[in-house]
Structure 1
Amino acid sequence: MDSKFCRDCGSVRPIAEFTRNRNSRDGYAFYCRDHARRRHRDSRDRRTGGPRSRHPREIVVPEGSKWCPDCGEVLPHSAFGRNSAARTGLNSYCKPCHNARTRRSKELVGGERTYHLRRRYGITADDADAMLAAQGGVCAICRTAPAAHVDHDHATGAVRALLCFNCNGGLGQFRDDPDVLQEAAAYVRFHALSQYLVAAFAAAGLGPVRPIRVE
């Protein structure tokens, strides 16, 4: 026997393309080697849930291209985002599929706002809204401007309160150092009082005076 019909191919194949099978009438497998491997692989995937790392099976990926596991397309490298942590330097999924996965991840945690708040500060959008309501909607420091920024301890990561843009930026500029902040407050008070005294003495016809700050 020089050839045999493969049920999956739907055509006659050379007998050399079939493995031996002593349980069959003619002593050869029902399917050619390629289709036998596919059937074995598919049966294993049904039992185990498929491969842990997805890879392009039986797909030719030309140089300069990459296979996307989600859409199953072979696309040029330009269709994939950069990822320095990956071995290839590219994301596993093409840009549309990567964006779709990101949207699904955000939806699973309650939306984009909660996604970013949880990722950066460990709180949800509901937590932030409760803090804002407790503060009356205004900054926890100046008590006047809208509170739009989450303030946290840079050493421990603990969330402290909600601040306005200026107060939040000011703390960052002073590196959250209470001693430096107190010195800055004393500095501002001294010069405000100095200007008041100079103006008062000048109005009274006295002076000029030069206030001196005593440490």
Structure 2
Amino acid sequence: MADFTRDAQRKDGLSFYCRDCRILRDEASRRKRLGPVRNNIRPRSLVVPAGHQWCPDCGEVKPLSEFPRNKRMPNGYMTYCKPCHNTRTRASLEKNGGSRNYHLRRRYGITAEHADQMLAEQDGLCAICREAPAAHVDHDHASGRVRGLLCFNCNGALGQFRDRADLMLRAADYLQRSDQTRTGAPAGATFVDLPRRCP
């Protein structure tokens, strides 16, 4: 009697199938209902020892060391083992047009074709200095809108000025005043570079 689950709809109050058979039938029914897309559900009858995990893709039970770490998951590990995880990652990259296209779409919302078109329109040069090759996508951090392609230095400068035009104008004014002070110095004045001192 303990091998059978309760079923209030039957006269004797017990299920027609024993527990093990009932689990197998429920599992088969669930797989049939969910279809091939969701057939990666762990079989209830499968026993997973401590320190191990079941991989839905290959269907194997492996030690946790065979799974990539992920702090966001309840057990601290990814769902798929390392080989299956790598296969899924490669398939996802190919589906999205390669790693460059995937990165640009995910981070900036543009495709590699769009980035190449922008680069051609800028003649391959930075949109600000027009001297160095444009290698970085510049975007407005508030709206996420892509503004153009910049060189490393110009992109870094915008970041240092926190994308604030008023600070950049003050910096330009400062440089102009500094040049005027030098050129407006009294005749015969020399500028001497002081030696550096160690702290």
TM-score (norm: length of structure 2): 0.77
| Residue 33 of structure 1: how far off its partner (Å) | 7.1
SS at match of 1:150: strand
Let me know the Cα RMSD of the aligned residues. Answer: 2.8
Unpaired runs of at least 5, structure 1: 1-15, 18-28, 210-215
CA distance in 1, matches of 2:143, 2:39: 36
| Residue 36 of structure 1: how far off its partner (Å) | 7.0
Q: Which consecutive segments of 4 or more residues in structure 1 shift more than 6 A?
A: none
Of stretches 111-120 and 96-105 in structure 1, the one that deviates more from structure 2 is: 96-105
Corresponding residue number in structure 1 for 2:114: 127
SS at match of 2:91: helix
SS at match of 1:162: strand
Corresponding residue number in structure 2 for 1:105: 92
CA distance in 1, matches of 2:65, 2:79: 13
The aligned runs of 1:135-150 (5 Å cut-off) are: 135-150=122-137
Pick aligned residue for 2:32 from 20, 40, 46: 46
Q: Over residues 57-112 of structure 1, what are the superposed CA-to-partner deviations in whole Å (9 max), with x where a residue is unaligned? A: 43221111111111222222122122222121211111221121111111111111
Q: Are 1:164 and 2:164 matched, yes or no?
A: no
Amino acid corresponding to residue 144 of structure 2 in structure 1: G
CA distance in 2, matches of 1:103, 1:186: 51
- CA change 1:163–1:208 in 2 (3 A) is closer
- CA change 1:208–1:142 in 2 (3 A) is closer
Pick aligned residue for 1:73 from 60, 78, 85: 60
SS at match of 1:151: strand
Amino acid corresponding to residue 46 of structure 1 in structure 2: K
SS at match of 2:147: strand
Unpaired runs of at least 5, structure 2: 5-15, 192-199
- CA change 1:180–1:103 in 2 (3 A) is same
TM-score (norm: length of structure 1): 0.72
% same residue: 56
Corresponding residue number in structure 2 for 1:212: none
| Residue 44 of structure 1: how far off its partner (Å) | 4.5
CA distance in 2, matches of 1:43, 1:139: 60
Of stretches 38-47 and 133-142 in structure 1, the one that deviates more from structure 2 is: 38-47
Corresponding residue number in structure 1 for 2:70: 83
CA distance in 1, matches of 2:65, 2:132: 45
- CA change 1:52–1:178 in 2 (3 A) is farther
CA distance in 1, matches of 2:190, 2:106: 58
Which structure would you say has the larger Rg?
A: 1
Contact 2:124/2:133 (CA < 8 Å) preserved in 1? Answer: yes
